[in-house]
Structure formats: C-alpha cells, structure tokens
Structure 1
Amino acid sequence: MCKTYAFLLTLLLAGVSFSAQAQMADRLSEHPAMSKAYGDKAVNLTREMTTRLHLNEGQFLRLLPVNRTKLAGMSIIEREYRNDDATRAAKAAELEAQYEQECSRILTPTQLSQLQQQNGQPSGAPAGTGNGLG
C-alpha cells in the first residue's frame, strides 16, 4: 500500500514538473523576442506539416502555437541540459509526448498516424483519444 502511494506521489510530482516546464515554454514563446525567434520557425514547420498532412486552415491556426511552444521548449532543454545527455533526452521525450498529445487534439487519426510515421514512430504507437475535431 505504501509503495502505491509513493508511486502515485511520484507520478503527481512528475506531472507538476512537466506542467511547469510547459507553462514556462508557453510564456517564453509568447514573449516578443521569443515570439519572433520561434515564430518564423514555427510558421515554416506548420506550413511543411500542412503540405505533408493536408491540414485545413483551422488545424494550421491551432497547430502554430503548439509548434512554437515545442520549439521554445526544445531550446530551453538544449540550453539547460547541454552537459547532461541522459536528462536532456528524458526531457526531450517528455516534451515530445506532450506535443503528440496536443497534436492528437488537433489532427485526425489518419493525420496523426502519418505524422508518427514521418517522425520514425511505429504506426501502432498510442495516439491519445483525440479525434482531431475538437
């Protein structure tokens, strides 16, 4: 029973930590200097995704800030953990999981599957429960 509580507490703390990091990336990506720095890259990335995945305008507009946040988050991770490969890889994996979860809310299942295949993930990877409609 004690192990169960310890496990749940660990999950809760990990979730809070990741949430705080994502919020920091959101705040940084909205900062004017960061917005410009990651804005152009995010627009280019989202345009590429539009071509590859056949996004509609609504999906483009919803995915743009998600891509900006991911780019800002990756920059933070690269900078803060440049001397710690293991932690950097773990944080990048966490960020990628959050990104995929956000994409699952925006993209259709077919588009999400295509994105996963293009990113080198197996098509049977968990894709969340989103239907791309809301």
Structure 2
Amino acid sequence: MFKTIFTSLTLLLAFSSFSAQAQMADRLSEHPSFSQATIRKAVSDDALVVTREMSNRLHLNEGQFLNLLPLNRTKIVGLKSIDREYRNDAETRAAKAAELEAQYEQECSRILTPSQLSQLHHGSEQPATEPSTSGNGVG
C-alpha cells in the first residue's frame, strides 16, 4: 500500500514538473527575441553578409569563402560578447577587441593570399583616412 502511494505521488510530481517545463517553454516561445535560435540566425546572417562583401572586394574563391564564414561568425559573436561583458570599461573593451582582431587577422593570413590580405587591410583603413583627405579644400 505504501509503495503504491509513494509511486503515485512520485508520478504526480514528475508530471507536474513536465507540465511546468512545457508552460515555461510556451512562455519563452512567445518572445522570439530571446530565442537562442533567433540570435544564432542573426549572427549567421551578419557573418554571411560580411563574408559576401569580402568575397566581392577580395575576389575569394569558394574554399576561402567557406573558411572565412565561420571565422567571421566567431568574430561577430566575440565582439558582441566583449561589448556586453565590458560595456562599463571602455579601456578593457578596446584591449579585448584588439586582441580578438589580432587573432582574426592571424587566421585570415592562413586563408587569404598576401595580395588579398593587403587589400583587406587597405579596405579596413580607408574609412579612417578618407575624412582627413576630403578636407583638403579640393572640390
């Protein structure tokens, strides 16, 4: 008799727990902005856009494109993480971002040709130098 009551009570608690978990999952699915799948899709889309832009600018072959895509995903996730973790510490955030950028460039140097690397660096520095040359009074 005691075993039957104990077993029934255990099953009742287990079903209650499953029901609560299902309700929580339903509640979370109502807010897709908090979904990990949504976040992963957004990062994946961003990485795809960045990699396509690199492909157009650097004339990547298919193998390079496929190798750079996960690398760009990792960089985007890393930058978002750094921004979130160090949002109140600009100096540390900048140092961590520079460290991530150095790792990214090192990985790019394994995938890209020297000419492509040069174009990559020239393209990333161009917006920083453009405003200083546009103020020369020519125009």
TM-score (norm 1): 0.65
Q: Distance in 1 between matches of 2:45 and 2:115?
A: 27
Q: Look up the equivalent residue of 2:81 and give its one-letter code.
A: I
Residue-by-residue CA offset, 1:85-117 (whole Å, 9 max, x unaligned)? 000000000000000001000000000011011
> Larger RCO: Structure 1 or Structure 2 (Cα < 8 Å, ≥ 6 residues apart)?
1
Structure 1 residue 110 corresponds to structure 2 residue 115: yes
Query: What is the rounded CA distance, in whole Å, between the counterparts of 1:64 and 1:96 in structure 2?
Result: 15
What amino acid is the match of 1:120? Answer: E
Q: Which moved more, 1:110-119 or 1:66-75?
A: 110-119
Q: Any gaps of 5 or more consecutive residues in structure 1?
A: 1-30, 122-134
Aligned to 1:60: 65
1:51 aligns to 2:56 (yes or no): yes
Q: Distance in 2 between matches of 1:73 and 1:108?
A: 25
Deviations 1:62-85 (A, max 9, x none): 000000000000000000000000
Query: How many angstroms apart in 2 are the aligned matches of 1:101 and 1:33?
Result: 30
Q: More helix per residue: 1 or 2?
A: 2
Give RMSD over aligned pairs.
1.4
Equivalences for 1:55-134 in 2 at 5 Å? 55-120=60-125
Aligned residues: 91
Amino acid at match of 1:48: E
| 1:35, distance to aligned residue in structure 2 (A) | 2.9
Q: Distance in 2 between matches of 1:100 and 1:32?
A: 28
What do residues 16-38 of structure 1 show as CA deviations (whole Å, max 9, x unaligned)?
A: xxxxxxxxxxxxxxx74543121
Question: Residue type of the partner of 1:45?
Answer: V
TM-score normalised per structure 2: 0.62
1:25 maps to none
Aligned to 1:38: 43
Unaligned ranges ≥5, structure 2:
1-35, 127-139
| Higher Cα Rg, which structure | 2
